[in-house]
């Protein structure tokens, strides 16, 4: 998956995030270059994927969940790079909401956790964690807690901020395994980072 989900509030507004989809597209592109048969579930992508990648375009978290559910059972590895909204408005208004109306929100399904729970033997599940925590040790602690909670095989931990991570052409990541150990660290272009992540994925698939 790549990009960021948007949860409609009314016909003209949504709750969303600044993920451009560039890291997920770089992963899909690099995997296709290595000969993989790639399906990219793209949420509101701001960049284009090459024709070597099959793209399913989605908008909301529920749409992304449904596309992933369709595709995941038939694949060797799932890499969940999309920034997914944890909540959505309980009701979507049919007309533009007036300022004084504040609606309730409901939890979205955790797609990654569900995938990890229902994966078949040998299938590899990779999650992402975008965190704003500036302290390295605290960032690693967040990543370790997250991979334990989600149950994925690997977790790509990356720091995001006003000028970091989302929307940029470069990235800096730490890859954690299920024990919370650091598998590797990579920084550079999102293409370079994608290749390093795929090296780790391929090593585990073999
Ligand atoms: O909990 P958090 O949003 O930080 O988790 C990030 C990871 O979980 C990403 O891989 C994202 O794609 C996935 N996720 C998900 N379903 C959600 C929220 C996040 O699959 N509802």
pLDDT tens column, 89-140: 999 989 988 876 677 899 999 999 999 999 999 999 999 999 999 999 999 9
pLDDT tens column, 35-65: 999 999 999 999 999 999 999 999 999 999 9
* CB 112 less than 6 A from any atom of ligand 1: yes
Nearest residue by C-alpha to atom 21 in ligand 1: 110
> Is residue 17 among the annotated active site residues?
yes
Q: What pLDDT score was predicted for residue 97?
A: 85
Share of the chain above pLDDT 90, in %: 90
Q: What pLDDT score was predicted for residue 101?
A: 66
DSSP-assigned beta bridge partners for residue 154: 126, 177
Q: What pLDDT score was predicted for residue 106?
A: 97
Q: How buried is 177 (Cβ within 10 angstroms: 0-12 exposed, 13-18 middle, 19+ buried)?
A: middle
The helix (H) or strand (E) run that includes residue 141 is helix 136-150
DSSP 8-state symbol, 49:
P
Closest ligand 1 atom number to CA of residue 126: 10
Q: What pLDDT score was predicted for residue 53?
A: 98
CA of 103 to the centre of ligand 1 (A): 23
pLDDT tens column, 149-206: 999 999 999 999 988 888 899 999 999 999 999 999 999 999 999 999 999 999 999 7
Q: Which two tokens stand for residue 71?
A: 């595709």
Q: What pLDDT score was predicted for residue 123?
A: 97
Q: What pLDDT score was predicted for residue 50?
A: 96
DSSP 8-state symbol, 103:
-
Nearest residue by C-alpha to atom 18 in ligand 1: 84
CA distances from 200 to 25, 32, 166 (A): 18, 16, 23
Nearest residue by C-alpha to atom 17 in ligand 1: 110
Average the pLDDT over 20-34 and give the result.
Answer: 98
Q: What pLDDT score was predicted for residue 103?
A: 79
* CB 108 less than 6 A from any atom of ligand 1: yes
* CB 41 less than 6 A from any atom of ligand 1: no
Q: How confident is the model at residue 6 (pLDDT cuts 50, 70, 90)?
A: very high
Q: What pLDDT score was predicted for residue 100?
A: 65
DSSP 8-state symbol, 73:
G
Q: What is the pTM of this model?
A: 0.96
Please state the length of the chain. 206
* CB 117 less than 6 A from any atom of ligand 1: no
Q: What pLDDT score was predicted for residue 79?
A: 98
């Amino acid at each position: 998956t790549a990009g960021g989900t948007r949860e409609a509030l009314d016909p003209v507004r949504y709750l969303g995030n600044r993920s451009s989809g560039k890291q997920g597209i770089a992963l899909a592109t690099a995997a296709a270059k290595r000969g993989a048969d790639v399906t990219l579930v793209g949420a509101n992508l701001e960049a284009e994927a090459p024709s070597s990648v099959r793209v399913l375009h989605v908008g909301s978290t529920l749409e992304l969940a449904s596309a992933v559910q369709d595709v995941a059972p038939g694949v060797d590895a799932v890499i969940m790079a999309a920034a997914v909204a944890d909540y959505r408005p309980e009701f979507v208004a049919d007309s533009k909401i007036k300022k004084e109306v504040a609606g309730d929100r409901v939890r979205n399904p955790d797609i990654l956790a569900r995938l990890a729970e229902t994966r078949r033997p040998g299938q590899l599940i990779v999650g992402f964690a975008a965190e704003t925590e500036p302290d390295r040790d605290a960032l690693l602690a967040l990543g370790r807690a997250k991979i334990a909670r989600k149950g994925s095989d690997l977790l790509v931990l990356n720091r995001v901020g006003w000028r970091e991570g989302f929307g940029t052409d470069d990235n800096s990541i730490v890859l954690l395994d299920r024990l919370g150990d650091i598998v590797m660290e990579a920084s550079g272009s999102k293409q370079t980072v994608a290749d390093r992540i795929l090296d780790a994925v391929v090593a585990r698939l073999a």
